[in-house]
Amino acid sequence: MFNKVILIGNLTRDIELRYLPSGQALAKGGIATNRRYKDASGMQKDETMFIDFTVWGRSAEVANQYLRRGSRVLLEGRLTLEQWTDQNGQKRSKHSVTVENLKMLDRKGENEGMGQSASQPQGGYNQPAQGYQQPQGGYSQPAPQAAEPKPAPDLPEIDINEDDIPF
């Protein structure tokens, strides 16, 4: 069997961090995802889904530290069924996502400066450094002159042990 969920969206509330008696961290949150489509009449429609999720361990602590309501995240995990009995004695249940991999997608300066650095590419896509290259045999154009490389902007030093970051 295969149970895999991948979601990209914005947090609907701040992360709620708790610790179990065993000392393990548990964080709960919610994410909103949007889908835009055209209905039968050709009108553009938006559909929003609200999904709860759970994060465990060091990832839960990092999520609580760096993520806030509105933060854009990518969640990878599995769908789970939560069951409980409410105050009236009725059995209740809901599906949620148990997160196995969490990636912060906000750029630095967005969402109160939380998230990843602006110098990192979003979504894992790297644009080619040279851009489009003219295929051989086409019409010829003079080659552009190479520009002097610009020095990298001064970025602040961040003292983080990479072994502590779970994703």
Token pair of 113 as six digits: 């400066």
pTM exceeds 0.75 for this model? no
Computed from CA positions of residues 106, 107, 110, 113, in that sequence, does the dihedral angle turn out positive or negative?
Answer: positive
**Which residue from 64, 69, 86, 79 is spatially nearest to 30, judged by alpha carbons?**
69
Cα(135)–Cα(5) distance, integer angstroms = 41
pLDDT in tens, the chain (167 residues): 899 999 999 999 999 999 999 999 999 999 999 999 898 898 999 999 999 999 999 999 999 999 999 999 999 999 999 999 999 999 999 999 999 999 999 876 555 544 333 333 333 333 333 444 444 444 444 555 555 555 555 655 655 666 666 65
Q: List the domains of the chain with CATH numbers.
A: 1-32+44-84 (2.40.50.140)
Please give the pLDDT value at position 160.
60
Please give the pLDDT value at position 107.
73
In angstroms, how far is the first alpha carbon of the chain from the final one? 25
For 64, the enclosing helix (H) or strand (E) is: helix 57-66
Task: Determine the 3-state secondary structure of 3 from DSSP.
Answer: coil
Please give the pLDDT value at position 123.
39
Please give the pLDDT value at position 15.
93
Please give the pLDDT value at position 1.
85
Please give the pLDDT value at position 152.
54
Please give the pLDDT value at position 64.
92
